[in-house]
Structure 1
Amino acid sequence: MGGHHAHHAARESRSLRRLAVAVVAPLALLTVVALVVLWPSGGLPTSENAAAAAESRGEVVSLERETCAEELPDDVNGCGTAKVTLSDGPDAGQTVTVPLPNGIGAPEVAEGHRVVLITTTTPDGETYAIVDHQRASGMWVLVGAFVLALVAFGRLRGVTALVGLGITFALLILFMVPAVLAGSSPLLVALVASSAIILSVLYLTHGFSMSTTVAVLGTLASLALTGALSALAVSALHLTGVTDDISNSLGVSHTVNMQGLLLAGIVIGSLGVLDDVTVTQAATVTELARANPAYRFLDLYRAGSRVGRSHIASVVNTIVLAYAGSSLPLLILIVANNNSLGGVLTDQVIAQEVVRSIVATLGLIAAVPVTTALAALVFGGRGEETSAG
């Protein structure tokens, strides 16, 4: 009897694997075809309406401070000039004199600081102005610390996570951004990029297994629902996606569909939390089936759902705080200028963030029962096979 059961279970396992391949393979093929069709050609389009000022880099060698003739409203460095030795550009090696920067957001400078300058052409010739600090070295140190910590703790999983992160950035920078600038639908591009990220990164990070396949299918289904809900909410609430000077400039200079870009941002922003939930649910059901081989579909679904409810309760707060943190300056400004709570919540800037949070949460809530049901269906009564799958 034991041999017959094992033989039957093995055949059932092979059937499920073939079924998983039959479902995932067409999705992967469709994603590849969409990537090829939507991949922009001919390089990035440039804007004819806005030309970026030429930038140079240099090091502050000395400061010459002066007494201000009148009080500065946004005093950062006071009055006077700085001597900066340029390190690149046509005037590399030369030392130029520039006014000390002041105003909101102006960089505070001192001798030895490496700064970024812009060049402006005037009737009297070219003038330089300090606009920012150079941060490349500090950023590389931070990235290096991140890589070392991840690899030291995660070991091989840490390495695969880094490779997956590289794939994600490559798809966003090399495919999604150029495709949107080329005029493709931002929502369609976001869904295709997300599908490519899911199919490549999840399998790379977690291995080729039935548990990962369940997580992939659960993530794709939840992401499709998130896209549909975001489109419905944005349309119903008449959100334009234009809420500040940056979004307005992007829409005018590059003729990007800003409403579509808002939808794309919701989809991409939801993806990171979605795959966390689906992978956790699939792994939880897998471990439950391994620990209790006699558990059937309903047993696994109920136990997995209890874990999922606890996970969702904590993740929802994470989503809201993440969106609130990213828009905190705007939130403070709107609250300061509007005493009505209803007016604050219905302002387009805040309403946009509320829609992001709610739609992402609804996608997460859907991800738990979908992924848990798929995993329970696959592993119900087959716990002895999960170690191999």
Structure 2
Amino acid sequence: MTVQVVLAAILFLLMVLVGGKKGVRSFFTLFLNFLVFLITMILMTIPIVNPIIVALIACTAICSMNLFYINGVNMKTKTAFISSMITIVILISFIVFITSKAKVQGFGEEVIEEISVFSLHVGVDFVKVGAAMVILTAIGSITDIAISIVSPMQELFHHQPSTSRKELVRFGLSIGRDVLGADTNTLFFAFLGSYLALILWFKDLTYSFGEIVNSKVFSAEMISILSAGAGVGLIIPITAWTAACYLVKK
């Protein structure tokens, strides 16, 4: 039995003990998300396929599984889904503009030597691929914050139906402020931790601090972190406003 199987079994056991049936669905959703991510990566390598469109379809599938399959189809998941998709559309337009202006797409000089034996004319638009990858890495935090805001807002309105739309929005923003810092730090350390080997590589190459900051690889990762953080900040007011309008109208 491999280490991966043992770790997967431990994770499954913990999710079942803590989450029950919902924990089982959450566990299988991990594999479904991985399958969607794998298919997305394969489709992005096809020159005639637009990576932005593929990313939007993948995000729609991931949001649907994470919200509707795990939590069922109800007011909370519908509102969280709509808020997440609005945020993704706005964010992906912003990221395409930023990545094209920053000129960080493609291969950095640090990896050119290792891949010099291969053809670099792969026929892929790296600006769109980079934007798509940022969205896919941030989609988990975006949907998590959306459902975390909608759920207590629904509970408040259920117990106090006379709550106005303005008060509901204010309540949702208050919840969002509490989770904003934690989720932003989670994204930061997730990106930074995955590129710890890159930082050590920079050290072995005796790069100065200025060379590290100005390198294409480092700049691309910082843009990814900041863009994903912008998505986390954007989902909070969108979700608060959408949920408040839905609840009051209903």
- State the TM-score, normalizing by the size of structure 1: 0.59
RMSD: 2.3
Q: Aligned to 1:339, which of 195, 208, 232?
A: 208
1:214 aligns with 79
Shift of 1:248: 7.3
Q: Aligned to 2:239, which of 342, 366, 371?
A: 371
Shift of 1:249: 7.6
Quick check: 1:266–1:360 contact (8 Å CA) kept in 2? yes
- Report the secondary structure of 2:120's partner residue: helix
Please give the alpha-carbon distance, in whole angstroms, between the structure 1 residues aligned to 2:46 and 2:126: 14
2:139 aligns with 271
Q: Aligned to 2:179, which of 311, 319, 324?
A: 311
Q: Aligned to 2:14, which of 149, 152, 155?
A: 149
- CA 1:256–1:306: 2 relative to 1, 3 Å: same
1:261 aligns with 129
- Report the secondary structure of 1:380's partner residue: helix
2:42 aligns with 178
Query: Greater strand share, 1 or 2?
Result: 1
Shift of 1:194: 0.9
Quick check: 1:167–1:201 contact (8 Å CA) kept in 2? no
Query: Greater helix share, 1 or 2?
Result: 2
Please give the alpha-carbon distance, in whole angstroms, between the structure 2 residues aligned to 1:251 and 1:291: 63
- CA 1:262–1:248: 2 relative to 1, 3 Å: farther
CA deviation map 1:281-340 (0-9, x unaligned): 111211221232221101111111011011111111111111111112222333562334
Give the structure with higher Rg (CA): 1
Residue identity opposite 1:205 in structure 2 = I
- Report the secondary structure of 2:208's partner residue: coil
Shift of 1:224: 1.2
1:164 aligns with 29
- Give unmatched runs, 5+ long, in structure 2: none
Quick check: 2:16–2:23 contact (8 Å CA) kept in 1? yes
1:284 aligns with 152
CA deviation map 1:120-151 (0-9, x unaligned): xxxxxxxxxxxxxxxx7221111111111111
Please give the alpha-carbon distance, in whole angstroms, between the structure 1 residues aligned to 2:97 and 2:115: 21
Residue identity opposite 2:184 in structure 1 = V
* 1:1-389 alignment, distance < 5 Å: 137-173=2-38, 175-183=39-47, 184-243=49-108, 244=111, 252=120, 254-334=122-202, 337-341=206-210, 343-380=211-248
Please give the alpha-carbon distance, in whole angstroms, between the structure 2 residues aligned to 1:249 and 1:199: 41
CA deviation map 1:177-216 (0-9, x unaligned): 2212222222221111111221233111111111110000
Percent identity over the alignment?
20
Using CA pairs under 8 Å that are at least 6 residues apart, name the structure with larger relative contact order, 1 or 2: 2
Please give the alpha-carbon distance, in whole angstroms, between the structure 1 residues aligned to 2:172 and 2:103: 38
CA deviation map 1:211-267 (0-9, x unaligned): 110000011011112211211111111112323357878873854433332222101
Quick check: 2:104–2:217 contact (8 Å CA) kept in 1? no
Quick check: 1:296–1:381 contact (8 Å CA) kept in 2? no
Quick check: 1:335–1:344 contact (8 Å CA) kept in 2? no
Please give the alpha-carbon distance, in whole angstroms, between the structure 2 residues aligned to 1:303 and 1:324: 32
- CA 1:381–1:229: 2 relative to 1, 3 Å: closer
Number of matched pairs: 245
CA deviation map 1:338-384 (0-9, x unaligned): 3344x4222211111110011111111110000111111122386xx
Quick check: 2:40–2:55 contact (8 Å CA) kept in 1? yes
- CA 1:348–1:167: 2 relative to 1, 3 Å: same
Residue identity opposite 1:302 in structure 2 = R
- State the TM-score, normalizing by the size of structure 2: 0.89
Quick check: 2:55–2:135 contact (8 Å CA) kept in 1? yes
Quick check: 2:96–2:127 contact (8 Å CA) kept in 1? no
Higher mean C-alpha displacement, 271-280 vs 332-341 = 332-341
Please give the alpha-carbon distance, in whole angstroms, between the structure 1 residues aligned to 2:165 and 2:78: 18
Please give the alpha-carbon distance, in whole angstroms, between the structure 2 residues aligned to 1:249 and 1:315: 40
Quick check: 1:312–1:364 contact (8 Å CA) kept in 2? yes
- Report the secondary structure of 2:106's partner residue: coil
- Give unmatched runs, 5+ long, in structure 1: 1-135, 383-389
CA deviation map 1:107-129 (0-9, x unaligned): xxxxxxxxxxxxxxxxxxxxxxx
Quick check: 1:171–1:193 contact (8 Å CA) kept in 2? yes
- CA 1:171–1:248: 2 relative to 1, 3 Å: farther
Higher mean C-alpha displacement, 273-282 vs 331-340 = 331-340
